[in-house]
Amino acid sequence: MKLIILGRDGILNEYREDHVKSPEEWVPIQGALDALSRLNHAGWHAVVATNQAGIGRGMIDMASVNAIHQQMVRLAQASGARIDAVFFCPHTPEDGCECRKPLPGMMLDIGHRYSADLHGVPMVADTARDLLAARAAGCPPHLVLSGRAAELDENALRQILEQVPETTVHRDLAALADHLIGSPRGAGGSGATAQEHS
């Protein structure tokens, strides 16, 4: 089974500083769901792992988070894509839980659920925190330059890669899909990688 772990905000949907608080605020990044569809059709099963501290801070309740994820799954299906499961941490950083990234708890739970060796499970991130979580879990880390990472300058990107030097960098989820599927569509297409570090 080919399994991939994806962050949510900044990877599948547009990142919001004030948190996604309703289904209407979950807006897919252009091309992200099409990229997910291509991964699915190439045999990849996708699981989302997301920190949702807004729950712990009282900004959003569990019913609203579930409604947002139902919307995400519906929009993915409308694009021919499939999300197998969503794992989320409802805690704030102050709670000291084991599941909030950069700790590996969610990824370890995913590995257990799917009986997967995480060393063969790519994890897609747009922050250093999530790359550190990938490394802690043993997942190959991949950074997409969308969401929060779209604002990185060359120096900030270099600092992240010094923290997690095994990271592979892609312009967006479409570029990552090309990388994993092994069928880049050329420099003029949205699938071209910006740069790669191995």
Q: State pTM to two decimals.
A: 0.91
Confidence of residue 19 (pLDDT cuts 50, 70, 90): confident
Where do the structural domains in the chain lie, given as residue ranges? 2-181
Other C-beta atoms lying within 10 Å of the C-beta of residue 126? 27
CA atoms within a 13 Å half-sphere pointing along the CA-CB vector of 127: 14
pLDDT at 178 over 90: yes
Q: Looking at domain 2-181, does it have CATH number 3.40.50.1000?
A: yes
